[in-house]
Structure formats: C-alpha cells, structure tokens
Copies of this chain bind each other. A is one copy, B any other.
Amino acid sequence: MEKIDGKAVASTIKKEIAIKVQEQVKNGGKTPHLAAILVGHDGGSETYVAAKVKACEICHFKSSLIRFDNDITQERLLQEVVRLNNDDDVDGFIVQLPLPKHIDEQAIIEAIDYRKDVDGFHPLNVGRMSIGLPCFVSATPAGIIELLKRYNITTSGKHCVILGRSNIVGKPMATLLMQKNEPGNATVTVCHSRTPNIKEICLTADIIIAALGQPNFVTADMVKPGAVIIDVGTTRVPDASRKSGFKLTGDVLFDEVSAKCSYITPVPGGVGPMTICSLMMNTLKASKKKI
C-alpha cells in the first residue's frame, strides 16, 4: 500500500506554479491576481481564506482580501461582484462560502463572470465541464484528478465508484471520470444515501472515491484487494484528548482499509491540501485568459 501524500504534491505544485509565474512575468505577461471576498468572521472561513492568501504568496500571485461585515446587503455584495468582474487587474476571484442567511448564495455565484469564476461553481462552468469545453473545474474534483495523474494511477477501463452525489464533489467527479480522456474513460457508478447495496457495489470498484461525509463509513470488507481509495470526507469528530477538541475524520476507516488497498489518501493530508492548490492552478489559467 502506498499512501498518497497530498500535502507533498500540493507543495510541489505550488513551487511549479511559482516558477511558471516568474517566467510569465519575465516574458512580459501578467502577475496572476486572485481576489477573495470574505463576509463576516466565521472561524472556518477565516482559516480557509488565510490559507488561500498564503498560497498566493508561495505561488508569487498578487492577492486581495475584501472584507464585509455580516450585515452587508445582497445588493451591496452584488455591486462588489460586478466591480471585480470589471476590474481588469483581477484575473479570478472567489466569494468565500457560506454567506449569511439573508443572502442568496446562488444569486451571488451566478453574478460572477464565469471567466473569473476560479471556484468553478458557476452553472456555466459546470455545464461547460460536462460538455467537455474549456472551463474552471471546482477545487476538490480538480485536486483528485491531479493526484491520480501525479501517482500515475490510470482510470481508463477501470470501475470508479463514487460515494455521494453532491454538486461540488460527487457529480463533477463522475463527469470528469467518464470523459473521453485520461484521467477519464472510466466506467462510473454513483452511489448515495438511497443506494441499498453500497457494500456489494464497492466490492466491484477499482477506485473508490468516498465523499459522503460519514466518518469511517468505508470498511475493509467493502474493498477489493488492490483498489485505490480516495477519501474526501473531513468530519470533525469530538475527541477530548486533543487540544482542538476534535479529530478530522475521513469517510474511510483508514487502519483497516489501508492494509488491503494499493493506494490511499489519508485524512488529513490527502485530498484536503489539494483543494487550495486547484484554486491556484485555476487562477494561473485565468491569468492566461484561456477561458
């Protein structure tokens, strides 16, 4: 069994991006510029945005953080989105989710110019990805595809079983893996809460992508020997023995399953670090105005 080291891959990719940016700028190109809108002071969102700003530094990107209080109106937030759409120096931007309840998240997402939507949440990017047109792919699926590439894990002709049908992981992952390219060309099965025989289906999988948000759901008896296991779960399970009071727990019972599979992503340190990395790759792409 080989552990897929998402942290190391993410670190390598950020260094590669930094070199590409230095070259791009040397050749008269633009310094990629990522802007982030942060509303309120949610602890998780603060942490994520801080990590994104830091990743921008490592990648030699310019970054802007635009803060608003929790009581910002939807109208004012939409104005800011329009301003960023029209700001030629900003290549891509994100609106950190979740937003306060009085704001319609979907309306904000749809107001973003899809050519600057580096989170890949705009319906135009979702549709373009499905059709196979140039687009921004959302962070987690893009990160998983990148991990598979870096570890030379082929998907063509393989049976990929995806657990979970969310808009940001399950569905785009299914689309990407069935496309006519590599990684892709896989037979794809999507299971979810209404699937009666998940165990039986998992046993036929060459690759399992677990994104249910149910800690330790995938056990060894569900895994075919030699399968590849990608664990997207990150549930905070209470743990009094830790300073934080919780343990970040994946959807896969790691100790048991790791003994049986060929590759596995740990939690933390597997898929997680790749998400910010995908955002950086999307921002670099945006700065080249390729979409």
Contacts and interface: CB of A to CB of B under 8 A. Distances in A.
Contacts of A201: 187
B171 A130 contact: yes
Contacts of A196: 157
A74 interface: no
Interface residues of A, number: 35
Contacts of A197: 187
A157 B188 contact: no
Interface in A179-220: 179-180, 185-192, 194-197, 201
A178 B196 CA distance: 14
A127 interface: yes
Interface stretch (A53-61, A86-94, A117-125, A250-258): A117-125
Q: By DSSP majority rule, is chain A's interface helix, strand, loop, or mixed? A: mixed
A190 B192 contact: no
Contact of A188 (B132, B179, B189): B189
A157 B126 contact: no
Stoichiometry, copies per complex: 2
Contacts of A195: 157, 187
Contacts of A191: 187
A53 to B, nearest CB: 28
Contacts of A122: 127
Most buried by B among A123, A188, A195, A197: A123
Contacts of A127: 122-128, 130
Given A123-B128, A126-B131, 15 more contacts: A123-B130, A123-B133, A124-B127, A126-B126, A126-B127, A157-B195, A165-B179, A171-B178, A174-B188, A174-B190, A185-B194, A187-B189, A187-B191, A187-B195, A188-B190
26 contacts: A106-B133, A123-B131, A123-B133, A124-B124, A124-B127, A126-B127, A126-B131, A127-B127, A127-B128, A130-B167, A130-B175, A157-B195, A157-B196, A165-B178, A165-B180, A171-B178, A174-B174, A174-B178, A174-B190, A185-B194, A187-B189, A187-B190, A187-B192, A187-B197, A188-B190, A189-B190
